[in-house]
Structure 1
Amino acid sequence: MIYVENEYARLQKVVLAASEFGYARKIRGDDLRFLLASSMEDIETHKGKDYRDAHPDKQRRWEQERTELQQVLEKYGVEVVRPRRLTDAEKAAAGDDGYANFFVRDPFFTIGNCVIEGSMRFLHRRREVLPVRTIMREGVYPEDCFYVATPAPEVALPDDPTLGAGPFLEGGDVIVMNDTVLVGNSGLASNATGAEWLRKFMGKFGYRVEMVRLHPDILHLDCALGLIRKGLMVICEDAFPDGVPAIFKDWEKISVTMNDATILATNGLPVSSEVYITDPAFSRIGRQLTARGVQVEYIDFSISRSFGGSFRCSTQPLLRKD
């Protein structure tokens, strides 16, 4: 069965990201403004290299982070599937843009019984869906669900800082709340054209799609808010220039700062309404959740977070239903 009800229903089957990254030879620095200065310096230093070769020790730690996440998920009965690695041909096809196979949340997403391939804005992520296609063939095609792809983005002029008209639509911007779907738009990832395409498609299934404007230094919507259970969320209110989305007006909010959001404080992962995974760096949030009856599991995810993503970014549910 393929179905995602909302962000905190019981997680039963999930795709867990691989750990591959190839540094671009040409750097678009302003697009990476959501990263820490140390990450930017690392990107500048290792142009054209594979992360595995540039940082073999960190590569092992990075892979171990994902292994530990898999172990925790399996402890709670979650079926975990993993994408294959990029082929040499896929890496070569990336050219100077670099390549990525590291945050499976973004290249596709699941809403209800619809599996949707996204349309990535960053050039190094345009092929990131390819390692997931085997999972699609083996685990999605046989199921009673829809499987579609967002239209491919238009080719932009070389000097176009926007990277073109898109459409851009990335899973980190997509928050599922039963029959309501929120799509973030900061200018770094999903855009209005992508949200409009999703509105047109999902509207046929009775979903309401609402675009949410984000602070321009926030990559995705899940870097600004995280839902724990119905009525409880972690949120950086400063990341929402138009205010917190109205659907959450009566929710209890655990607030974090923009600095916290930059290091992915909101990007934990609910296993269910009772269990939540986060990094020990955010034990302050964990203590508040524990006080509210939520069981908190801690995993050091510092390497993953240095790339600009964390637990939600590293996973994409195929079945999340109570």
Structure 2
Amino acid sequence: MINVYVGDETSFLRAVILGTAKGVGDVPNMEDAYDPKSKEHIKAGTYPKEDDMIEEMEAFAEILEKYDVKVYRPEIIGNYNQIFSRDIGFVIEDKFIKPRILKDRDEEIQGIQYVIDQIAPENILDVPDDGRIEGGDVMPWKDHVFVGYSEQEDFGKYIVSRTNRAGLEFLQKQFPNKKVIGFQLKKSDEVAKDNALHLDCCFQPIGQNQAIIYKDGFKLEEDYQYLVNYFGEENLIHINRDEMYEMNSNVFSISPKVVVVEQKFDRLSKVLEERGFTVEKVPYAEISKMEGLLRCSTLPLIRDKN
């Protein structure tokens, strides 16, 4: 039995599902790509190779295991992308939420069903038919749950809009003891530098009271300002458009002190080290070509309760 619990983004990690690049298959056709960064690399002939991505993910797994984290991996579904496990499930408090995601990805959950089967049925929540949520948009943070989403005008327009108002309202109903706050994100199906695919592509809490943030990932100034007021300007690390594109906010915390980052994020690593963090560096540049990075490929199951 797995007693899931996640209360925030940074408490010491005990168990996690890390996606897999094994069996990801050949380069997809352009019409089968559903984010602008993947399309860019398909067009340029630079889409990542399976062997390179496997190597990157194994390096990440080694870092997690170095900190005695229990690492689960999906069962392989042949010729299927199972790298980004964050989107196919997520944990808030003691509940595992099975979201409704893109139809193209609906088989993905089968790869982690053996893990879900170890969770008590009463602690599993299914998102209703009209709700759409992906885990990259959902961040438990102490008394809050931050949620990136799109109102209908954008949700109906962009394939990169992954969480809707019905999904947000489902979480608000299920967790009445939390402040479940929605932030509208900027979307573009064609220009990766103008697209915040998920909330974790433009914002990520770290440590006890700090965060990485990209202002222009938010559609509304007031949503960005809410986070500035909540964390305090002095506790924010601002990233620019190019750093957002390279996924600088998509780091992953093993504990309040230990942050895993892509090895080429020199400026961010320096800032984190100056602020007292232990920075674990991992090669993940090939995976980043699919508009996802370290947080996207993890599904935390158990973090310490504070």
TM-score (ref. length: structure 2): 0.84
Query: Match of 2:179, as an amino acid?
Result: R
Q: Is the 8 A contact 1:84 1:131 kept in 2?
A: yes
Query: Match of 2:73, as an amino acid?
Result: R
Q: d(CA) in 1 for partners of 2:228 and 2:96?
A: 25
Matched, 1:168 2:132: yes
- The C-alpha deviation readout for 1:262-297, integer Å capped at 9, x for no partner, is 221100101111110001221210100101110101
Matched, 1:103 2:84: yes
Matched, 1:113 2:94: yes
Q: d(CA) in 2 for partners of 1:220 and 1:132?
A: 22
Unaligned runs of 5+ in 2: 156-160, 188-194
Give the alignment partner of residue 220 of structure 1, picking from 173, 198, 215. 198
Equivalent position of 2:31 in the other structure: 27
Equivalent position of 1:79 in the other structure: 70
Q: d(CA) in 2 for partners of 1:201 and 1:225?
A: 24
Output the aligned Cα RMSD: 2.2
Q: Is the 8 A contact 1:268 1:278 kept in 2?
A: yes
SS of residue paired to 1:4: coil
Equivalent position of 2:128 in the other structure: 151
Equivalent position of 1:14 in the other structure: 16
- The C-alpha deviation readout for 1:82-122, integer Å capped at 9, x for no partner, is 110115xxx6xxxxxxx43110000100000010011113x
Q: d(CA) in 1 for partners of 2:302 and 2:217?
A: 29
Unaligned runs of 5+ in 1: 44-50, 92-98, 153-165
Give the alignment partner of residue 55 of structure 2, picking from 64, 67, 80. 64
Equivalent position of 2:110 in the other structure: 130
- The C-alpha deviation readout for 1:280-316, integer Å capped at 9, x for no partner, is 2212101001011101010010121111111101101
Q: d(CA) in 1 for partners of 2:201 and 2:43?
A: 18
SS of residue paired to 1:3: coil
- The C-alpha deviation readout for 1:171-210, integer Å capped at 9, x for no partner, is 000011123111102542111121112222222xx12211
Q: Is the 8 A contact 1:107 1:129 kept in 2?
A: yes
Equivalent position of 2:162 in the other structure: 189
Equivalent position of 2:242 in the other structure: 259
Matched-pair identity in %: 26
Q: Is the 8 A contact 1:32 1:40 kept in 2?
A: no
Give the superposition deviation at 1:9.
0.8
Query: Match of 1:60, as an amino acid?
Result: D
Query: Match of 1:192, as an amino acid?
Result: R
- The C-alpha deviation readout for 1:39-89, integer Å capped at 9, x for no partner, is 45459xxxxxxx9xxx7xx312211111111111111121111110115xx
Post-superposition, which runs of at least 4 consecutive aligned residues in structure 1 deviate over 3 A?
Answer: 20-26, 39-43
Query: Match of 1:119, as an amino acid?
Result: R
- The C-alpha deviation readout for 1:195-228, integer Å capped at 9, x for no partner, is 112222222xx12211111111110000001111
Query: Match of 1:79, as an amino acid?
Result: K
Q: d(CA) in 1 for partners of 2:206 and 2:262?
A: 15
Q: Is the 8 A contact 2:37 2:289 kept in 1?
A: no
Query: Match of 1:228, as an amino acid?
Result: I
Query: Match of 1:274, as an amino acid?
Result: K
Query: Match of 2:293, as an amino acid?
Result: S
Q: d(CA) in 2 for partners of 1:279 and 1:257?
A: 16
Q: Is the 8 A contact 2:88 2:108 kept in 1?
A: yes
With over 3 angstroms needed to count, the CA separation of the structure-2 counterparts of 1:261 and 1:245, relative to structure 1, is: same
Equivalent position of 1:269 in the other structure: 252
Give the superposition deviation at 1:151.
2.4
